[in-house]
């Protein structure tokens, strides 16, 4: 309201400012941080995380939460790998069908998630957390603990083929970011996510089918998790139960640090992009300047608290549960 | 002994209390009556310390006091029994009675439950309630909970030196007649321990219980009557005592409605616990007003039409179609638009901009295969911004940042632009300034001219009379009386109040 430097503007741009400060900080300490090689490394580790984080962004905009990503990613990755190998083992054969199949698996898990949440009226965090465990267990059942190698050169081209120094998977991730942006800003579905997050009562009172919308949201999130799974497999060439590890903390942290509010209605995929980059820049930068990994976790934890503190208007909230 | 001298309280845009004098003696029962918005609740809040007066003084036994919060008022012996019961239902009765005052039972950091139960039993005996203090409060009936509240307030007796003043805010609203008798008997007996201030919409009860009655209107005490001299009619006259300004409510623009077509028809509709056997027809061009006190069932009727509350008996028809499955989506499709009282909660989505709010209920019309045609949305929003003179810098403005009047216009535009022709208005002018109110009245007339039917729960009685063709007076969930009024031939405020209280 007064000048450019009011609280609202600050909160809006804070994540981007933090990202720039971090990049500057690491570059000053270690100039090699800002080399194309290193930036590509950050982009590669960010790509799968970005997909998963975009998926959960939609759910958080709705004011719900989805914690099923680790299980969903594992199942999608494992199903993909099995199908890929069974259908010929190279993209140039019928094995390409494994790609849409993995996405369908993601959507199906999301659908189940939404169904349990909406129809059985289980709170979303509990429904999805449980579904995530089921997924992880199911992936282990499928693989029996084995790692499945996906060595097709065309598929691995996601990592090995580079344009302008960045591998193809980074461009794939950017394409899906744009798709996410389109859904968020140009479709009725995306608009409805914001409406439900901003005022569920009102969305209901405007005749929206809120339950159906929630299920659609979880399906959409599942699709993005599956894309994240594909990129994760492309990155290391292996699908296993552990493919999904660490995605939960990583994605939720990214969404929150990016400035999407946990109670819904505010934020979006660009916030999530910035959040994912902040998290990965910190991870990479710490290694580059030679700090041990556990410091990194501590810093991320602090960052989450700072982000939530910044985005909460404490005057208007008297109690927090 | 407790006295207010020339107490003033102002809120932005409202002068809620104007130099109010109020006294209550030892062991006295004082009644307080007035219309909604007359200043009763503000006065009560000043008395129990929730509001600080802007002018005037509060004295107890001649000494001036100033309460910063209700706790300080309690320390001076002033307790409140709330209308919305303030007991925490998952705690036991004794925990509720001593909530916030457990310290007296704590030894070395541990609560002595036996001592607390004993003390609670003593309090319950004062209100003649023979229950186990260790009981979970949720298991009590409403009448019993009311007595527990009273017992809770009476603990002040032990804690505070001097006399008690206890406020009873609509204590009878959830009680049956026999329970009311018992409560009154108890209150009379308790006058040996405390004085009472009794607030109620039920005039006969106020007359029955009170020694003196304060009548409030527009933030002023217009009369103080002794019980002996009190008479319902004259009090009701003093509560309203003014005429309706015809021009203000656009009465000259009130046209005749079309009696042959019916938009909404209720036939003997009952929602248990809310309202009973309600029947009416709403016609195109008609403003039908539901008048009654808070909790009389008006809002529940609106919620039924909007599909949020399913009736147990009777038939509801919207445009001739019998409604069997009640949901908001179906009602919206049939052309019902709901303008709720809590604009911020149910009216507009803060954080979404003007055009996004306007198309929220009709996104199907502005999208193909799920992809929005945003250019059309903006054009629509611009059209209605011009038509209703909505003051906003652009269609991109976050609706949460608009003034109340302009938010209300956005809500109305949302429904009208989607073709809704059954408009439910719940306190559409609450919290708006005078100019914005007049805009809403203009819109009401325009909608009627365009063939829409309106069901209104008005903010004031004048508004109800000024705007409507038909008035249903509802009391305790039942229609008491139906008035029809054309311009120049409308029921008076007194007629309505007579059936309301």
B356 lies within 8 A of chain A by CB: yes
Q: How far is A198 from chain B (nearest CA, A)?
A: 6
Q: Are residues B121 and B195 in the same domain?
A: yes
Mean pLDDT of B411-432: 87
Q: Are residues B300 and B319 in the same domain?
A: yes
In tens, the pLDDT along B285-297 reads 999 999 988 778 8
CB B145 within 8 A of CB B137: yes
In tens, the pLDDT along A226-261 reads 999 999 999 999 999 999 999 998 999 999 989 888
HEC per residue, B271-316: ECCCEEEEEEEECCCCEEEEECCCCCCHHHHHHHHCCCCCCCEEEE
Q: What is the pLDDT of residue A2?
A: 47
Residue A298 has pLDDT above 60, yes or no: yes
Please, how many CA atoms are within 13 Å of residue B154, restricted to the half-sphere of its CB? 23
Q: What is the pLDDT of residue B472?
A: 92
Q: Do B346 and A201 touch (CB under 8 A)?
A: yes
Q: Are residues B163 and B38 in the same domain?
A: yes
pLDDT above 90 covers what percent of chain A? 68
Q: Are residues B223 and B361 in the same domain?
A: no
Give the residue from B341, B359, B363 with the most A CB atoms within 10 Å of its CB, the best one to mutate.
B363
Regarding predicted confidence, which is higher, A218 or A202?
Answer: A218
Q: Are residues B66 and B191 in the same domain?
A: yes
For the sheet with B212-217, list strands across it.
Answer: B78-81, B164-169, B194-199, B29-34, B212-217, B220-226
Q: What is the pLDDT of residue A240?
A: 94
Confidence of residue B345 (pLDDT cuts 50, 70, 90): low
B347 lies within 8 A of chain A by CB: yes
Question: Whole-number mean pLDDT of chain A?
Answer: 90
Among B201, B217, B240, residue at a domain's last position = B240
Burial class of residue B473, CB neighbours in 10 A (0-12, 13-18, 19+): buried
Nearest to B329 among A198, A201, A209 (CB): A209
Q: Do A206 and B361 touch (CB under 8 A)?
A: yes
Residue A77 has pLDDT above 90, yes or no: yes
| Pairwise CA distance, residues A146 & A142, whole Å | 9
CATH number at residue B272: 3.40.50.300
Q: Are residues B108 and B192 in the same domain?
A: yes
Regarding predicted confidence, which is higher, B486 or A195?
Answer: A195
Structural domains counted in chain B: 3
Assigned architecture for domain A40-245: Orthogonal Bundle (1.10)
Residue A151 has pLDDT above 70, yes or no: yes
Among B187, B209, B240, residue at a domain's last position = B240
Give the residue from A184, A201, A202, A268 with the most B CB atoms within 10 Å of its CB, the best one to mutate.
A202
Residues of chain A contacting residue B345, judged by C-beta atoms under 8 Å apart:
199, 201-202
3-state DSSP call for residue A196? helix
Q: Are residues B32 and B101 in the same domain?
A: yes
Q: Are residues B56 and B157 in the same domain?
A: yes
Question: Whole-number mean pLDDT of chain B?
Answer: 86
Q: Flag whether the ipTM exceeds 0.85.
A: no
In tens, the pLDDT along B173-227 reads 777 778 888 889 999 988 988 999 998 877 888 888 999 999 988 888 988 989 8
Q: Are residues B72 and B221 in the same domain?
A: yes
Domain that holds residue B15: 2-240
For residue B281, which of B3, B497, B489, B484 has the smallest C-alpha distance? B484
Confidence of residue A274 (pLDDT cuts 50, 70, 90): very high
Q: Are residues B17 and B119 in the same domain?
A: yes
Residues of chain B contacting residue A189, judged by C-beta atoms under 8 Å apart:
370
Residue A1 has pLDDT above 50, yes or no: no
In tens, the pLDDT along B81-91 reads 886 667 888 99
Q: Are residues B106 and B184 in the same domain?
A: yes
Q: Are residues B127 and B96 in the same domain?
A: yes
Residue A317 has pLDDT above 70, yes or no: no
Among B369, B403, B419, residue at a domain's last position = B419
pTM of the model: 0.78
Q: Which residues of A touch B (CB under 8 A)?
A: 186-189, 191-192, 194-195, 198-199, 201-209, 265-266
């Amino acid at each position: 309201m007064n000048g450019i430097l009011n609280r609202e503007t600050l909160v809006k741009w804070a994540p981007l400012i933090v990202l720039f400060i971090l990049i500057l900080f690491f570059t000053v300490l270690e100039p090699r941080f800002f080399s194309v090689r290193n930036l590509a490394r950050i982009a590669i580790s960010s790509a799968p995380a970005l997909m998963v984080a975009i998926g959960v962004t939609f759910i958080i905009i709705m004011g719900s939460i989805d914690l099923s990503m680790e299980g969903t990613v594992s199942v999608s990755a494992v199903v993909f790998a099995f199908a890929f190998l069974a259908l010929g083992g190279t993209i140039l054969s019928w094995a390409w069908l494994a790609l849409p199949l993995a996405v369908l698996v993601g959507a199906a898990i999301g659908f189940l998630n939404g169904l349990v949440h909406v129809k059985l009226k289980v709170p979303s965090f509990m429904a999805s957390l449980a579904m995530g465990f089921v997924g992880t267990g199911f992936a282990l059942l499928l693989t029996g603990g084995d790692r499945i190698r996906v060595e097709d050169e065309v598929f691995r081209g996601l990592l090995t083929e580079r344009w302008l120094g960045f591998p193809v998977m980074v461009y794939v991730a950017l394409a899906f970011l744009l798709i996410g942006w389109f859904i968020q800003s140009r479709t009725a579905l995306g608009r409805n996510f914001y409406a439900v997050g901003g005022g569920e009562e009102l969305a209901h009172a405007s005749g929206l089918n809120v339950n159906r919308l929630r299920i659609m949201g979880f399906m959409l999130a599942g699709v993005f998790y599956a894309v994240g799974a594909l990129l994760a497999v492309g990155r290391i060439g292996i699908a296993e139960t552990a493919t999904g590890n660490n995605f939960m903390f990583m994605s939720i942290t990214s969404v929150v640090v990016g400035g999407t509010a946990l109670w819904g209605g505010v934020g979006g995929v660009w916030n999530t992009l910035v959040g994912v980059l902040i998290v990965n820049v910190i991870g990479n930068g710490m290694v580059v300047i030679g700090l041990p990994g556990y410091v990194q976790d501590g810093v991320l934890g602090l960052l989450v608290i700072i982000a939530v503190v910044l985005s909460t208007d404490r005057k208007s909230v008297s109690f927090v549960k | 002994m407790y006295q207010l001298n020339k107490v003033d309280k102002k809120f932005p845009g409202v002068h809620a209390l104007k130099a109010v004098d109020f006294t209550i003696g030892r062991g006295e029962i004082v009644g307080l009556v007035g219309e909604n918005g007359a200043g009763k609740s503000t006065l009560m809040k000043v008395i129990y310390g929730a509001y600080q007066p802007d002018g005037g003084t509060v004295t107890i036994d001649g000494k001036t006091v100033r309460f910063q919060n209700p706790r300080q008022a309690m320390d001076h012996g002033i307790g409140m029994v709330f209308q919305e019961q303030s007991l925490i239902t998952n705690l036991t009765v004794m925990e509720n009675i001593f909530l916030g005052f457990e310290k007296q039972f704590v030894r070395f950091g541990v609560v002595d439950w036996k001592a607390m139960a004993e003390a609670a039993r003593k309090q319950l005996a004062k209100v003649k309630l023979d229950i186990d203090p260790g009981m979970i409060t949720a298991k009590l009936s409403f009448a019993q909970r009311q007595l527990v509240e009273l017992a809770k307030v009476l603990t002040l007796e032990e804690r505070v030196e001097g006399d008690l003043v206890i406020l009873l805010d609509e204590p009878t609203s959830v009680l049956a007649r026999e329970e009311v008798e018992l409560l009154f008997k108890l209150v009379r007996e308790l006058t040996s321990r405390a004085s009472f201030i009794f607030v109620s919409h039920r005039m006969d009860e106020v007359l029955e219980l009170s020694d003196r009655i304060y009548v409030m209107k527009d933030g002023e005490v217009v009369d103080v009557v002794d019980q002996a001299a009190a008479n319902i009619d004259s009090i009701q006259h003093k509560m309203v005592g003014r005429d309706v300004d015809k021009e203000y409510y656009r009465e000259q623009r009130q046209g005749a409605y079309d009696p042959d077509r019916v938009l909404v028809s209720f036939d003997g509709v009952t929602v248990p616990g809310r309202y009973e056997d309600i029947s009416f027809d709403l016609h195109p061009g008609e403003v039908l007003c539901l008048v009654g006190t808070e909790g009389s069932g008006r809002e529940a009727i609106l919620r039924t039409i909007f599909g949020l509350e399913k009736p147990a008996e009777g038939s509801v028809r919207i445009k001739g179609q019998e409604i069997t499955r009640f949901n908001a989506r179906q009602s919206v499709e049939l052309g019902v638009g709901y303008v709720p009282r809590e604009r911020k909660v149910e009216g507009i989505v803060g954080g979404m901009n003007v055009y996004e709010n306007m198309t929220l209920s009709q996104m199907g019309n502005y999208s193909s295969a799920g992809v929005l045609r945003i250019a059309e949305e903006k054009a629509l929003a611009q059209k209605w911004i011009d038509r209703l003179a909505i003051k906003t810098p652009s269609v991109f403005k976050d609706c949460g940042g608009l003034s109340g009047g302009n938010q209300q216009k956005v809500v109305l535009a949302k429904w009208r632009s989607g073709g809704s022709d059954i408009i439910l208005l719940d306190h559409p002018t609450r919290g708006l300034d005078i100019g914005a109110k007049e805009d809403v009245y203009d819109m009401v007339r325009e909608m009627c001219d365009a063939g829409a039917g309106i069901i209104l729960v008005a903010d004031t009685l004048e508004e109800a009379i000024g705007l409507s063709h038909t008035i249903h007076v509802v009391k305790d969930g039942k229609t008491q009386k139906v008035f029809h009024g054309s311009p120049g031939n409308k029921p008076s405020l007194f007629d309505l109040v007579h059936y309301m209280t």
